[in-house]
Amino acid sequence: MSNPQSKVDVLIIGAGPAGVMCANGLARAGVNVRIIDKRPAKVAAGQADGIQPRTIEVLQSYGLADALLSQAAQMHMAAFYNPSPTGGIECTGRAADVNAPTARYPFEATLHQGEIENIFLNSMRKEGVEVERPMIPTSLELSTDQTELEDPQAYPVKVVLKRLDVEGEANNTEVVHAKFVLGADGAHSWVRKTMGVTMDGEQTDYIWGVIDMVPSPETDFPDVRNRCAIHSENGSCMIIPREGDKIRLYIQLTNADVVDPATGRVDMNKFGPDKLLEVAKKSFQPFIMSTTPDKIDWWTLYIIGQRVASKYSIHERVFIAGDACHTHSPKAGQGMNASMNDTHNLIWKLTYVLRGWADPSLLKTYEFERRKYAQDLIAFDKEFSALFSGKPKSEGYADGVSHQQFLQAFQTHGGFTSGINVHYVPSAITSAVYQSAASKLTIGQRLLPQTILRAADRRPVEVQDLCPADTRFKVLVFTGDMQDSQQHARVETFAAELSREDGFLNTNVIAQAERAYDVMSILKGKKEEISYRDVPEILRPHWSKVLLDDVDQTGTKGGKMYETYGVGPEGAVVIVRPDGYVGMVCPLDQVKSLDNYFAGFMKSP
């Protein structure tokens, strides 16, 4: 008797942050997707917990930020503690936790990983997709037939799946033929190993412990609700405030603390949260940091590895993402963010290829963009971990890490740790030729948040909310002042060019224009004078698509978009990719360049 066979467009292995982000995004885009996980239930405690400002923007682009923010704690302030001349530690300074002036959400959010995954599980459930668990892949074969590999509608990946909660191969085994497979199966990725992808980099000597707990009432440490970086003579600690009254403690350990001298290995069974807390208590002196066993949620030990996968895909048919691609220190709160942003980058590309809209070569940009990011992340992590794990500077140890040194590194890397400065360099989907047309809006970075008025009802809205992750390219047309006759003529010419039958709006993905492109116009003018009907009809597919760069009725919001983006009175076009990154910018007389940009990866009928 042969096992059941089935077909699926995308099979996702692993339902951690990278996997559920991908499954939800694909499901919402109408892609036929399945997701499996070896765990019988979602994470109940512990694991990752930090969400960067940029990742909150990404969640918002899927309509999921409210679900996060209604539960999460927020870190606005970082406090720094260093050895006091009188013994123990003292607060040597406090500073903004996020150093990224353009962040829409100027704080980090923290919430238990299981709850974050739940936000995606609830969302994908509305699309009829559930995680199948406990289930593992037992074999994965990629066809070697070149024709099949090049045909996006073929099923070149054969995966055997096994249910772990059912006995007998006849009952628990299924053969799946997939167009694409994503391995989002963690640091020890089975998919990565099966595909023979190596990890570049190495382990470090840093050993850390983690405890999630609610401090007891006698705790008198004053910064228990701020992110704290504590350098003591006894070792380093970090506090991450969490949802409710919970906090997370990261505690630096020495080999003597954790390595069993008999075996030379870390023995988790011989260690426990009480011992971890003992180490922490010494670092917190003269402050009291205490809890009781019933208030400890989770704990673990880890040794930092700093490695990046040598490649992110095999023939753009089997991909890996998240921890399967990169491992590093958890202390800058990057892990879950890097993972979710990996698949956020991949979702729209897979969707376009599966819909037959884009050439499969589009998928090459996934590794191109995300592997470079991971390398930057490891470089950052090496510097930051060394500083954080280093001994504090003192009278007896002049080579130690000073408060100033640490604070400076903390602030310098704000753009990176916040996720705000992620920058995709030129490729088929990122064209930086006309950067000067919007000089302050960096092509390859995410669209800068900005409040703008809707022209018809003068309602202030956030431009990022007009550019959701709905798989469409956003075509933002900055018309300038339509009451200026020269500019008016320029816009009329632009609109006529845009309407050409052989222009991108009409040639690519025939009859799908409104599914692929969302056209908006942004007027410059006074809210008391303009009308949304001032722009040519092709630039106002609906009244809500005409925007106005003017200050709102309260005088506190809006009116700074042209200035912030560096767009002059002659206008410009800004193309925002489906993932919210600026793909291209050009002057109004360059419709031909727009055509060429889209022709670079979109298919003609």
Residues interacting with a copy of itself, by CB under 8 A?
66, 73-77, 93-98, 106-107, 220, 222-226, 241, 245, 454, 456-460, 527-529, 531-533, 543, 552-554
* Ramachandran category for residue 571: left, alpha or beta (phi over 0 → left; psi -120 to 50 → alpha): left
Catalytic residues, which ones?
A: 49, 242, 250, 330
Nearest distance in Å: CB 95, a copy of itself: 8
For a copy of itself, which is the closer residue by CB, 254 or 556? 556
Tell the burial category of 273 from Cβ atoms under 10 Å away from its Cβ (0-12, 13-18, 19+): buried
* Ramachandran category for residue 559: left, alpha or beta (phi over 0 → left; psi -120 to 50 → alpha): left
Q: And the tokens for 16?
A: 């951690």
Query: What residue spans of 8-112 are helical by DSSP H?
Result: 17-28, 53-61, 65-69
Query: Residue 17 in contact with residue 116, Cβ under 8 Å?
Result: yes
Q: Which amino acid is at 594?
A: L
CA distances (Å), 428 to each of 4, 351, 514, 593, in order?
40, 17, 22, 13
For a copy of itself, which is the closer residue by CB, 98 or 576? 98
For a copy of itself, which is the closer residue by CB, 64 or 591? 64
Nearest distance in Å: CB 288, a copy of itself: 12
Nearest distance in Å: CB 438, a copy of itself: 24
User: What is the total residue count of the chain?
Assistant: 605
Nearest distance in Å: CB 583, a copy of itself: 28
On the question of a cis peptide bond just before residue 134, with omega within 30 degrees of 0, the verdict is yes
Nearest distance in Å: CB 97, a copy of itself: 7
Residue 251, beta-bridge partner list: 209, 237
What is the SS3 assignment for 214?
Answer: coil
For a copy of itself, which is the closer residue by CB, 88 or 568? 88
What is the rounded distance in angstroms from the CA atom of residue 405 to the CA atom of residue 422? 24
Q: And the tokens for 97?
A: 């936790």
Residues 6 or more apart from 404 whose CB is under 8 A from it? none
For a copy of itself, which is the closer residue by CB, 270 or 533? 533
Nearest distance in Å: CB 456, a copy of itself: 4
Residues 6 or more apart from 168 whose CB is under 8 A from it? none
Q: And the tokens for 90?
A: 């003292």
Query: Residue 406 in contact with residue 230, Cβ under 8 Å?
Result: no
Nearest distance in Å: CB 503, a copy of itself: 24
For a copy of itself, which is the closer residue by CB, 93 or 569? 93
CA distances (Å), 359 to each of 124, 350, 362, 370, 453, in order?
27, 10, 6, 19, 37
Radius of gyration of the chain measured on its C-alpha atoms: 26
Nearest distance in Å: CB 532, a copy of itself: 7
Nearest distance in Å: CB 292, a copy of itself: 18
Residue 155, beta-bridge partner list: none
HEC states along 492-532? HHHHHHHCCCCCHHHHCCCCCHHHHEEEEEEEECCCCCCCH
Nearest distance in Å: CB 440, a copy of itself: 19
CB neighbourhood size of 173 (10 A): 16
Query: Residue 236 in contact with residue 406, Cβ under 8 Å?
Result: no
For a copy of itself, which is the closer residue by CB, 270 or 459? 459
For a copy of itself, which is the closer residue by CB, 8 or 456? 456
**How many degrees, rounded to 5, is the angle at CA 320 between CA 43 and CA 196?**
115
Taking each helix axis from N to C terminus, what angle separates 403-412 and 364-389, rounded to the nearest 10 degrees? 170
**How many degrees, rounded to 5, is the angle at CA 384 between CA 341 and CA 397?**
170
Element containing residue 108 per DSSP (H, E): strand 108-110
For a copy of itself, which is the closer residue by CB, 191 or 463? 463
Element containing residue 565 per DSSP (H, E): helix 561-565
For a copy of itself, which is the closer residue by CB, 533 or 592? 533
